[in-house]
Amino acid sequence: MAGNETGKGAQALIVLAAAAIVAAAIKLAAGFIAPLLVAACIAIAVQPIFRRVHSSRIPDVSAIVISLLVVIGLLVGVGALMVVALANLSGSAAQYLASLHQVQLQATVWLEAHHQHAIAQSLYGSHVEQLMQQATSFVMTSVPTVLSTVVTVLLLIVFMLLEVTTMPRRVHAALGWSPSTFTEFSRTMSEIQRYLSVKTATSAATGLCAGLWCAACGVPNPALWGLVTFALHYVPTVGSLVAAMPPIFIALTAFGIGRASAVAAGLALFSLVIGNFIEPNALGRSLSVSPLIVLLSMFAWGYLLGPIGALLSVPLTLIAKIVLWNTSDLHWVAVLLGPTPPATARITDLGAPPGRDSLLPQPKGTSSASRPSVPRAKVL
């Protein structure tokens, strides 16, 4: 027993050391890895479209073009809405600045009345115009970098989709993977696609509700705030909070505390209902991770890859959890990451049913005992 515990402790230390080495490598190569991960997530998301088109006896190149047109169409649509909303926002910048100066003066008077002279002096001495000019210049200088990154991601998606039909044969020839290993790999891809599709749908629903509520409350540029909410909903825990701050602030400066409270209450309600009830029920308990792990993964991936890492923190952590769950000697790490199927059902013998320790829910009316036994192989 003591020797077994010592072996487990040594294994844990080895895993931590390997994770530290991999994290350092990711940090050094973040400029290359971040677009690659974005392209991989998009390619996984559009792979069902590619396979459906390809199954209709359409050539690979044509199927890739159709899949790519879907992605480009979505990007162009979102980009056009963003440009129009930003143009409207820049046109109203002078009005927002005047309202902001008034709120700043009122806050300064209130602080002076409550003998908070240092804070009042600091607030009154802040230059909002300079901050807005810096933000505008940052956005303008970032446009070429964003465009080049988008082009790089689209090229990577094309080449990734080109490898979809030939990669299994090449992997089988190079590594000798058995059919059961490919079954596990396909199951992993299905789980990732399911998460991305559900997360995209719930993010779109949250953004739509936020935009409509801002329009109903009279907040200017509701389309912009809907798009911001849609994008930041991918960021766990703090994404919805950050997305709600601009419309609440604009409502405060333009209409007062009452309208701002109404905007905040509506946005909080949408985020609470969709993020804590609808989304977990759609994903299922087995596709979730611990809230603490979600928060830590956001900080970890954000530190390693920047804003893109924070945006993709949950998909990346989920991918790691699925791969670890389907790797027998690293299964215990997946258990630490959050809720999993019952551990008592896991059988590591070669005769174990393949669906018993899968993260995918079993179809209704089907039990793991009724499934045929398939030899289980280790995911490399």
> Tell me: the pLDDT tens digits for 263-277?
999 999 999 899 888
Residue entry with tokens 């997305």: 243
Q: For residue 2, what pLDDT band results from cuts at 50, 70 and 90?
A: low
Contacts made by residues 222-229, CB under 8 angstroms, sequence distance 24+: 222/247, 223/81, 223/84, 223/85, 224/81, 224/82, 224/85, 224/86, 224/88, 224/89, 227/78, 227/81, 227/82, 227/85, 229/203, 229/267
Nearest to 158 by CA among 63, 253, 229, 82: 63
Residues contacting 61, CB < 8 A, separation 6+: none
Q: Phi, psi at residue 354, to the nearest 5°?
A: -70, -25
Q: For residue 380, what pLDDT band results from cuts at 50, 70 and 90?
A: very low
Distances in whole angstroms, Cα of residue 313 to Cα of each of 127, 239, 251:
35, 12, 31
State how far the Cα of 222 lies from the Cα of 215, in Å rounded to an integer. Answer: 5
pLDDT of residue 370: 43
Q: Kindly tell me if the per-residue pLDDT of 90 is higher than 90.
A: no
**Dihedral, CA of residue 285, residue 288, residue 292 and residue 297, to nearest 10:** 180
State how far the Cα of 289 lies from the Cα of 339, in Å rounded to an integer. Answer: 6
Phi and psi based region of residue 25 (left: phi greater than 0; alpha: psi -120 to 50; beta: remaining): alpha
Angle, CA of 245, 239 and 44, to the nearest 5° = 145
Work out the end-to-end distance of the chain between its first and last CA atoms, rounded to an integer number of angstroms: 29
Instruction: State pLDDT tens for residues 294-349.
Output: 788 888 888 998 888 888 887 788 778 777 776 777 777 777 776 655 444 443 43
With a pLDDT cut of 90, the percent of the chain lying above it is 8
Highest mean pLDDT among 49-63, 87-101, 153-167, 258-272: 258-272
Q: Kindly tell me if the per-residue pLDDT of 371 is higher than 50.
A: no
State how far the Cα of 230 lies from the Cα of 240, in Å rounded to an integer. Answer: 9
Mark out the alpha helices in the chain (DSSP H runs): 2-28, 30-54, 60-91, 93-113, 117-125, 128-162, 167-175, 179-216, 222-232, 239-255, 257-273, 279-283, 291-305, 307-311, 313-325, 331-337
Nearest to 234 by CA among 281, 267, 212, 201: 201
Provide the mean pLDDT of the chain.
Answer: 76
pLDDT of residue 175: 64
pLDDT of residue 215: 92
Q: For residue 379, what pLDDT band results from cuts at 50, 70 and 90?
A: very low
Mean pLDDT across the stretch 358-371? 42
- Decide if 200 contacts 44 (C-beta within 8 A): no
Environment class of residue 230 by beta-carbon count within 10 Å: exposed (0-12), middle (13-18) or buried (19+)? buried
Residues contacting 103, CB < 8 A, separation 6+: 252, 253
pLDDT of residue 216: 93
- Decide if 20 contacts 34 (C-beta within 8 A): no
Environment class of residue 8 by beta-carbon count within 10 Å: exposed (0-12), middle (13-18) or buried (19+)? exposed
Q: Kindly tell me if the per-residue pLDDT of 125 is higher than 80.
A: no
| CB environment 112-135: b (16+ within 10 A), e (fewer) | eeeeeeeebeeeeeeeeeeeeeee
Mean pLDDT across the stretch 75-79? 82
- Decide if 342 contacts 172 (C-beta within 8 A): no
Q: For residue 356, what pLDDT band results from cuts at 50, 70 and 90?
A: very low
Lowest mean pLDDT among 109-113, 215-219, 241-245: 109-113
